[in-house]
Chain A
Amino acid sequence: MNIGKMMNTSPLTVGPEADFTTMLCKLSCLPGRLLYVVDGQGRLLGLVSSRDLLALMVPPYLDSNLARAVADDEAIVRRAFAAHKDETAADIMVTEIVALTPDDQFMTADAVIREKGLNALPVVDKAGRLLGEITRRDALRYLTLSCCDCTCDGVE
Chain B
Amino acid sequence: MFWTATLIFVTAYAVIVSEKIHKTKVALLGAALTLITKVLTQHEALHDIDLGVDWNVIFLLISMMLIVNIMTKTGVFQYVAVKSAKLGKGNPFTIMSIFAVVTAVGSAFLDNVTTVLLLAPVTLLIAEQLEIDPVPYLITEALASNIGGTATLIGDPPNIMIASKAGFDFMDFIVHLSPAIIVIMVVWMLVWKVVFGRRLHVKEHLKARIMAMNENELIKDPVLLKKCLAVLGLTIAGFILHGLFHYEPATVALMGAATLLFISGEEPHHALAEVEWPTIFFFIGLFIIIGGTVKVGLIELMSQKMIDLTAPTPTSMFTLSMVMVWFSAIASAIVDNIPFVATMNPLLIGMAGKVFGATDVATLQNATMLPVWWALALGACLGGNGTAIGASANVIVVGMSEKAGHKITFVRFMAYGVPVMFLTIILSTIYIWLRYYVLGI
Contacts and interface: CB of A to CB of B under 8 A. Distances in A.
Interface residues of A, number: 16
A61 to B, nearest CB: 4
Contacts of A65: 75, 78, 218, 220
Interface string B210-233: 001111011010000000000000
B189 to A, nearest CB: 25
Contact of B213 (A59, A62, A70, A79): A70
Interface in A50-85: 59-63, 65-66, 68-72, 75-76, 79, 83
Contacts, number: 50
A61 B214 contact: no
B297 interface: no
Contacts of B404: 59-61
Interface string B106-120: 000000000000001
Contacts of A71: 209, 212-214
B334 to A, nearest CB: 30
A63 B405 CA distance: 17
Contacts of B217: 68-69
Contacts of B198: none
Most B CB atoms within 10 A — which of A65, A68, A69? A69
A63 B78 CA distance: 11
B328 to A, nearest CB: 34
B401 to A, nearest CB: 9
Interface string B366-408: 0000000000000000000000000000000000100111000
B212 A59 contact: no
Contacts of B82: 69
A70 B125 contact: yes
Interface of A: 59-63, 65-66, 68-72, 75-76, 79, 83
Task: List the 9 shortest-distance A-B pairs measured between CB atoms, nearest first.
Answer: A71-B212, A61-B121, A68-B217, A61-B124, A69-B213, A65-B75, A69-B82, A61-B404, A66-B78
